Amino acid sequence: MKAVVTGAGGQLGQALVAHPPADGEVVGVPRASLDIADPVAVADMLRRLRPDVVVNAAAYTAVDRAETEPEAARRVNAEAPGVLASACCGVGARLVHVSTDFVFDGGGGAPLTPESPTEPLSVYGATKLEGERRVQDAMPDALVVRTAWVCSAHGRNFMNTMLRLMRERGEVRVVCDQFGTPTFAGDLAQAIWGLVGAGASGIRHWTQSGAASWYDFAEAIRREGQNRDLLGTEARVVPISTEEFPTPARRPRFSVLDCSLAYTTLGATARHWQDALAETLAEVARVEQQNA
């Protein structure tokens, strides 16, 4: 199998390239080589590389900025995936598209299945939902993988922001009334390749196991970071409410995803987010020691 990963410079894109499937060749195409919003460049890339599978890990992921740049977000998250899906059909390649828990409003209290009603609260969520629909319209048997709260050792993410703020300020205030599941790019990448190998199509949810508030997640980062000497100082995490931390984009209160369908296809549940966090922070510590 020959696979192309778009957005290969991002957290998930890098992980998809770093953890290729055993029977596959993976070509990572970063933004500098391919703007997925350029239909001519997309067609050209597909003609040149002739992949069996394309995994679209490119996205406009600046959730708050999207509120003031809706057109830019829509171009990348909604229009481009639809064009990519049509172009993939044209060369007989399957498309795997990555989407988000932010397609839900998070107003309930039970884990959300792929069939749960969608109701995005933000421009980012709405454009990602439109992207899913355009992909499925163009390629009815495409695979759409919704995930949540993605982190990796390298990249812009909550874990790295917390580590930085804890070092700089010693105290961070973190919302304790929004719940989801921290998910680590390496595990997610391997699950995506597993779903591709199993021939899955339609919408699948995949996150690590377990659930947490952002506060719980920050506390775990503090504990684990302190144990691994990553903070350099005693840090404190203070729980606050969403109302005390207003952001331009509204976020779901409860967007824990029910991943049982994907776990069944894969024949394995995901490991708990705390185990994946511990491994990721061990990697951060190793890299920092090497660079010291």
Ligand X SMILES: NC(=O)c1ccc[n+]([C@@H]2O[C@H](COP(=O)([O-])OP(=O)(O)OC[C@H]3O[C@@H](n4cnc5c(N)ncnc54)[C@H](OP(=O)(O)O)[C@@H]3O)[C@@H](O)[C@H]2O)c1
Interface ranges with ligand X (CB under 6 A): 6-7, 9-13, 31, 34-37, 57-61, 76, 98, 100-101, 128, 147-150, 155
Asked if 215 is an active-site residue, the reply is no
Residue 176 backbone class (left: φ over 0; alpha: ψ -120 to 50; beta: rest): alpha
Query: CB of residue 178 vs ligand X: minimum separation in angstroms?
Result: 13
Q: Are strands 212-213 and 179-180 parallel, antiparallel or unpaired?
A: antiparallel
Q: Which of 60, 124, 215, 263 is catalytic?
A: 124
Q: Are strands 183-184 and 150-151 parallel, antiparallel or unpaired?
A: parallel
Rounded alpha-carbon distances, angstroms, from residue 146 to 17, 27, 34, 243, 259: 19, 22, 23, 27, 9
Q: Are 10 and 58 spatial neighbours (Cβ–Cβ below 8 Å)?
A: yes
Q: State the nearest-atom distance from the C-beta of 282 to ligand X, in Å.
A: 21
Residues 263 and 199: beta-carbon distance below 8 Å: no
Determine the residue type at 125.
G
Could you tell me the smallest distance in angstroms from the CB atom of residue 204 to ligand X?
A: 13
Least Cα distance to 218 among 146, 121, 155, 149 occurs for 149
Both tokens of residue 72? Answer: 């830019």
> Among residues 135 and 231, whose Cβ is nearest to ligand X?
135
Nearer to ligand X, 263 or 267 (CB): 263
Shortest spacing between CB 130 and ligand X, in angstroms:
13
d(CA 120, CA 12): 22
Integer Cα distance of 138 and 281 in angstroms: 40
Of residues 201 and 234, the one with the C-beta less far from ligand X: 201
Strand segments (E) across 91-227: 94-100, 143-147, 150-151, 171-175, 179-180, 183-184, 202-205, 212-213
77: which DSSP letter?
A: I
Shortest Cβ 96–ligand X spacing (Å): 11
Pick from 121, 231, 248, 228: nearest CA to 169: 231
Please list the active-site residues. 124
